[in-house]
Structure 1
Amino acid sequence: MLGASGQVGRAAVRALAADGWEVTAASRGGGGDDGWPDGVRTVRLDRNEEGALAAGIGDGCDVLVDIVAYDRGHARQLTGLADRIGSAVVVSSGAVYEDDRGRSFDTQDEPDGFPAYPVPIPEEWPTVAPGDGTYGTRKVALERELLAAGGALPTTLLRAGAIHGPYCPGPRELWFVKRALDGRPVRVLAYGGRSRFHPAHVDNLAELVRLAAARPGSRVLNGADPQAPTVAEIGAAIDAVLGVESERVLIEGPPEGPGGLVGLTPWTAEHPIVYDMAAAERELGYRPVVSYADSLPETVEWLAGRAQGREWREAFPNLAKYGVDWFDYAAEDAWFAARG
Structure 2
Amino acid sequence: MRKAVVIGATGQIGRPVVDALARDGWAVTAASRGGGRDAGWDEGVRTARLDRADGDALAALVGDGCELLVDVVAYDAGHARQLTSLADRIGSAVVISSVSVYEDGAGRGFDTQGEPDGFPVYPVPVPETQPTVAPGEATYSTRKAALEAELLAAGDEFPVTVLRPGAVHGPYSPLPRELYFVKRNLDGRRRRVLAYRGESRFHPSSTRTIAELVRLAAARPGSRVLNACDAEAPTAAEIGAAVDAVMGAEARTVWLDGPPEGSVGRTPWSVPLPVVCDMSAARRELGYRPVVSYADSLPETVEWLAARVRGRDWREAFPLLARAYPDLFDYAAEDAWCAA
TM-score interval for Structure 1 and Structure 2 normalised by the shorter chain: over 0.9
Quote the Cα distance in structure 2 between the aligned partners of 1:294 and 1:240: 11
Query: What amino acid maps onto 2:18 in structure 1?
Result: V
Q: Which residue of 2 aligns with 1:167?
A: 172
**Is the counterpart of residue 55 in structure 1 residue 60 in structure 2?**
yes
Q: How do residues 280-319 of structure 1 correspond to structure 2 at under 5 angstroms?
A: 280-319=282-321
Selected match of 1:70 from 63, 75, 100: 75
C-alpha distance in structure 2 between counterparts of 1:209 and 1:323, whole Å: 30
Between Structure 1 and Structure 2, how many residues are aligned? 335
Are 2:265 and 1:263 aligned? yes
CA distance in 1, matches of 2:264, 2:187: 17
In structure 1, the residue matched to 2:206 is: 201
Is 1:180 matched up with 2:185?
yes
| TM-aligned CA deviation for residue 187 of structure 1 | 1.4
Counterpart of 2:3?
none
Letter in 2 for 1:164: H
How far apart are 1:323 and its partner, in Å?
A: 4.8
Question: Matched residues in 2 for 1:278 and 1:318: separation?
Answer: 32
Q: Does 1:220 align with 2:222?
A: no
1:84 aligns with 2:83: no
Counterpart contact for 2:97–2:162, Cα < 8 Å = yes
SS at match of 1:51: helix
Amino acid at match of 2:25: G
Residue identity in the other structure for 1:126: P
1:92-103 alignment to 2 at 5 Å? 92-103=97-108
- Residue of structure 1 equivalent to 2:50: 45
- Please give the secondary structure, in 2, of the residue aligned with 1:34: coil
Q: Which runs of 5+ in 1 are unaligned?
A: none
Alpha-carbon offset, residue 100 of structure 1: 2.7
Secondary structure (helix, strand or coil) at the match of 2:7 reads coil
The Cα shift of 1:50 comes to 4.7
CA contact (8 A) 2:171 2:304 kept: yes
The secondary structure found in structure 1 opposite 2:92 is strand
Aligned match of 1:191? 196
| 1:18 equivalent in alignment to 2:23 | yes
Counterpart CA distance in 1 for 2:260 and 2:206 is: 27
SS at match of 1:306: helix
Equivalent residue for 2:147? 142
Match of 1:31? 36
After superposition, the C-alpha distances for 1:126-165 in whole angstroms (9 at most, x for unaligned) are: 0011100011110010001000002221000000110000
The offset of 1:325, in angstroms, is 1.5
Percent of aligned pairs with the same amino acid: 71
Structure 1 runs of 4+ with >3 Å offset: none
Aligned to 1:153: 158
Query: Can you list the C-alpha shifts for 1:256-280, whole angstroms capped at 9, x where unaligned?
Result: 1xxx110000000000000100000
Matched to 1:324, the amino acid is P
TM-score by length of 1: 0.97
State the Cα distance separating 1:321 from its structure 2 match. 2.2
1:237 is aligned to 242
RMSD after superposition: 0.8
Report deviation, 1:177.
Answer: 0.3
**Aligned-partner Cα distance in 2 for 1:30–1:108:** 37
Separation of aligned partners in 1, 2:55 and 2:237: 48
Contact 2:227 2:282 survives alignment (8 Å): yes
Look up the match of 1:129: 134
Query: Please, what TM-score do these two structures have when normalized by structure 2?
Result: 0.97
Q: For 1:65, what is the secondary structure of its paired residue? A: strand
Determine helix, strand or coil for the equivalent of 2:117: coil
Query: Are residue 277 (structure 1) and residue 253 (structure 2) matched?
Result: no
